[in-house]
Amino acid sequence: MKSATQATLLMFSLLGGASSYAAEPIPVRDFFKNPQQANFQISPDGKMVSFTQPFEHRLNIYVQTRGGEPKQVTQVKDRDITQYMWKGNDYLLFLKDNGGDENYHLYAVDKQGSTTRDLTPFDKVRVELIDELEDHPTDVLIGLNKRNPEIFDAYRLNVQTGKLTLVAKNPGKITGWVTDHEGRIRVATSSDGVNTSLLYRKDEKSPFKTVLTTNYTESMEPRLFTFDNKYLYATSNIGRDKSELVVVDPATGKEKEVIYKRADVDVSGVQYSHKRKKLTSVDYIDWKPQRAYLDEETQALYKKLEEKLPGYEVLIGAANKDEDTFVIVAYNDRTRGTRYLYEAKTDQLTKLADVTPWLDEKQMAPMKPIQYTSRDGLTIHGYLTLPLDKEAKNLPVVVNPHGGPWLRDQWGYNPEVQWLANRGYAVLQMNFRGSTGYGKQFWRASFKQWGGTMQDDITDGVNWLVKQGIADPKKICIYGGSYGGYATLAGVTFTPDLYACAVDYVGVSNLFTFLKTIPPYWKQFLDQMHDMVGHPVRDKALLTARSPALHADKIKTPLMVLQGAKDPRVNIAESNQIVDALKKRGVDVQYIVKENEGHGFHNEENRFEAYEAMEKFFGKYLN
């Protein structure tokens, strides 16, 4: 199988008695070291199982016959391998960048591990997977920006020979390619920065024609062709607030029917059976990831699995080509969980591995959904995680706004949250306006509101927690990464008396310089970013008012800053500016820079250093 009820936390449950299970201090490294085994996959013929496991502190790929001994097939020592897949029964493909620059290369290794080859050995070029071409033994379709760093052409790549063949040249505005079930590129999406278009051709010899153009705030995202290759399944919010799963005629761009919709949240994805050529389920997130079944066989399969694994969320992580052998993911908000092999013919479930066996889920804290009302009347959803061994009253708190900002937090295991809760801190996460999944109107409410009403939503969450009696108003810190780092800086700049300390992790500090230093392949969307964040000329006063680096004289909260030197999204200059401005005032800022990292610290030793420093920092101001 492939991928292409808002809950309110009742205050009596928040303010109830402390858990009877005492939270023992767990070493910080236990939360952030690499998993013992993870990323399990199955070869198409079902005979081999693969997974990643640490080798010299880096995740590498291991392969074993079912029931046999594992064999290490890669020896990568600079970066973890976190994205990989089988290609046929003889090769595995994986992605790896250089020190966090996000210029990913595609590598191939044979299942014996005898040879590893860089299939895209091009300097400052990024590869993107278009179609794995599941039914072809050696070929995949990839996108490369080697001709022009701002756009991606489509190539057919033979992983056995390394032969690369151009199959679709990007005329300049194409942002995505879509294949039919025979691997032919027949649909494309394009953007001029403000308007997005759907392009179609009936076959690979015909020219593309534009069949639909909308403003970027209305989207029709192709998911896959119908199984007769005539129409498209897509998620669309055109003419509606919430994205719905629809069928579209690609020759005209017109909707034919709605497959699934919800009144509360967006449809986020669709699953299907490649073998049976059927849609199987629809994905959406209310307070946690959910699925709506479109297929009785799939529903019956999940029912069996959920009965075998009570208390856990269950997902199919991988399957063989016959779709009778599956990797099963079982997890919840207190554990990364366990991976199993399930054989449908015999109804046999076999344990493969616990992902982090050194962490006892009984010592982890439940993540509870909450909601509050913003000062202008919006309902803001979020999550509150309380330490196990403390009464929910007058607690030290870490406020943790998410990155993006056009993403969202969701329920599930989060090592940062569990680490903080284990230290006795309550953790508040909120899906401020602009967070995705709640419909178009909620998303659009964030436009040109960095440091404005988006920040108010965070502040209102803090004040709500204080009003409930849960937070000690003198012991509230804020910590976030990427946009969450910006929100951290905005919090201590524009509400300087609210927070006792702050940690900015690869965050934006100056909206002018941020918009000038985006990666080249984001430049197609620059007009859109100007519309959503602000234009450096037309909105000069707004961007000036909302850039923390330009108001660093207001900051009096103790601050820690973490930054990767090779970050392509948030240039190191963003962190340098805020640190330099504070140091000129004689303010001491703890600043950790890693030369071999990009947008976040991915190497294990860097994670250890960062979180150990953060632990001391939070301890100083919250204990």
The C-alpha torsion from 594 through 596 and 601 to 607, rounded to 10°, is: -70
Render pLDDT for 528-562 as a digit per residue (tens, 0 to 9): 999 999 999 999 999 999 999 999 999 999 999 99
Whether 57 is catalytic: no
Q: How far apart are CA 345 and CA 125, in angstroms?
A: 45
What is the pLDDT confidence band of residue 588, given thresholds at 50, 70 and 90?
confident
Render pLDDT for 2-45 as a digit per residue (tens, 0 to 9): 544 333 333 323 333 334 344 679 999 999 999 999 999 999 99
State mean pLDDT over 412-436: 98
**CATH architecture, domain defined by 361-622:** 3-Layer(aba) Sandwich (3.40)
**SS3 of 501, please?**
strand
Give residue 9's pLDDT. Answer: 31
Q: In what order do the strands lie in the sheet with 254-260?
A: 220-225, 232-236, 244-249, 254-260
- The CATH code for residues 36-170 is 2.120.10.30
Whether 567 is catalytic: yes
Whether 101 is catalytic: no
Residue 533: CB partners within 8 Å, gap ≥ 6? Answer: 448, 450, 511, 515, 543
User: φ, ψ for residue 523 (rounded to 5)?
Assistant: -65, -25
Contact 280, 245 (CB under 8 A): no
With tokens 């039919």, the residue in question is: 180
Give residue 18's pLDDT. Answer: 38
Q: How far is CA 302 from CA 260, 287, 332, 363, 530, in A?
A: 20, 20, 16, 28, 44
Contact 120, 140 (CB under 8 A): no
Q: Provide the residue count of the chain.
A: 623
Looking at 547-597, which runs of residues are DSSP E strands? 559-564, 590-594
Q: Do domains 36-170 and 361-622 have the same CATH topology?
A: no
Q: Where are the domains of the chain?
A: 36-170, 264-355, 361-622
The active-site residue, picked from 139, 567, 575, 602, is 567
With tokens 């984001």, the residue in question is: 522
The active-site residue, picked from 482, 509, 547, 575, is 482
Q: How far apart are CA 154 and CA 274, in angstroms?
A: 23
Contact 489, 570 (CB under 8 A): no
The active-site residue, picked from 381, 530, 551, 599, is 599
Render pLDDT for 161-213 as a digit per residue (tens, 0 to 9): 999 999 999 999 999 999 999 999 999 999 999 999 999 999 999 999 999 99
Q: What is the mean pLDDT of the chain?
A: 95
Give the helix, strand, coil percentages of the chain, each rounded to 5: 20, 35, 45
Render pLDDT for 144-164 as a digit per residue (tens, 0 to 9): 999 999 999 999 999 999 999
Q: Tally Cβ neighbours within 10 Å of residue 582.
A: 20
pLDDT > 90 fraction of the chain, expressed in percent and rounded: 95
Contact 480, 548 (CB under 8 A): no
Give residue 23's pLDDT. Answer: 64
Contact 237, 439 (CB under 8 A): yes
